[in-house]
Structure 1
């Protein structure tokens, strides 16, 4: 019997692993989606701020007004970056919590299924070992007593 032949225990183990990985992949996909939305929002805000700052610089009357416009434009950008950082940390922390919950939900079943696979393999290997040992004993007995292994005690060979 093939040690890797499909068994109910192996199928259960693979199902548990697929369920865990599917759940975790879904949670990671959601996190990446939220991070992408944050990135797009930040990029849009920075572009808008940059456009507004450019308009102020272009409309400034002199170098002092130009410098004041540039300094003033850095305030919204730094505020947007601070907000982005907070929201990003919230997404990362929330994702960590979700992944931990998913692991806590699926890991016990995966462990149980893995134990069942290991127990099944031990049982099957013990049976195979016993069968091979029996076959070896039979082969040794046939070698030790060749006349007993031949029907009629080897009388056919003696008659010739």
Structure 2
């Protein structure tokens, strides 16, 4: 029993529907259906029939989604196996990584380490000036509306 809860806890952090989570979900929905059935027998209220139907629909949809997700994962694994047999990379990032490594190797060979460092650096544009607030205004005395007015005034000044 303790191993079930450990597997359940670990399954929460595992992507996709794990068998332990599906088992716990099914047990929970079954218990909810039993409670709704008992409440229906105790009160004869149509509300518990509606809740039971909703619960059953949700229970079915969760299991359907898990089945479809499992089928999609198996299909993806089969495609990856086929690609490995053909020698095609599994994803675009692998190709980009290879190209980037080749490019950096060519730069280092052709011009040395100084040229490679310069090729990787991009110039940074300055977008505006920083303005310092006066000490006469305390932060608490300035309202948010005043700040927005100042921002809009600064934007108008930049546009001119």
Higher helix share: 1
TM-score tier after normalising by the smaller chain length = 0.3 to 0.5
Q: Which has the larger radius of gyration?
A: 1
